[in-house]
Amino acid sequence: MRIVGGRHRGRKLRAPAGGGLRPTSDRARESVFNILEHTILGAGFGAGTVADVFAGTGALGLEALSRGASHATFIDNDPVALKCVRGNAGGLGEGRSVTLLKLDVTRLPPPPLAAKTPFALVFLDPPYLTGLGVAALQGLAAMGWIADGTVCVTEVAANEALAPPPGFVLLSERVYGAARVLFLKFR
């Protein structure tokens, strides 16, 4: 697994041993960022802060930092995943550009100042077939982590139903093998 674009292009990312995580493939990540940069967000992509929810290895948030995001907040309830993100961010020299939060996204508190909210862009990659994507989107909106115009990129299983919750509009949808990626905007 590698960073596929930006100033850290080609740099390796590590995943914890044991295979408990399911990182977004390099190819799917590259497609997602091409859609964001050339269709949805345009030239303003790098100006904002991002969140990587269900962070795992941190590949999505670190990819955003590589492409110019100013800060990334990584949220996961697994300390092993957060340790992996910390190591990957440090290996890229991005240790000062990240905030790590051990939280259950279905019961989010108001955001701490260190998170630099509201986010311009949020990546959500919940465990497949759990329905956690909708709960996380609702929690982010209800507790003020996102604002009008925030784009939320949500990955679910290709055969998993995910209807955008109230307040979210579907901008685009793509299927990459076993994954379906929805591009949503909060309004």
Domains of the chain, by residue range, sit at: 27-186
Fold assignment, 27-186: Rossmann fold (3.40.50)
**Pairwise CA distance, residues 156 & 127, whole Å:** 8
Note the pTM of the prediction, 2 decimals: 0.94
**Pairwise CA distance, residues 100 & 86, whole Å:** 8
pLDDT at 27: 84
CB 149 within 8 A of CB 187: yes
**Pairwise CA distance, residues 30 & 101, whole Å:** 26
pLDDT at 47: 67
Among candidate residues 158, 153, 133, the one with its CA nearest the CA of residue 41: 153
What is the phi/psi pair of residue 15, to 5°?
-120, 150
| Spans in the chain with pLDDT lower than 50 | none
Look-up: residue for tokens 């790590």?
A: 100
pLDDT at 108: 93
What is the phi/psi pair of residue 101, to 5°?
-130, 125
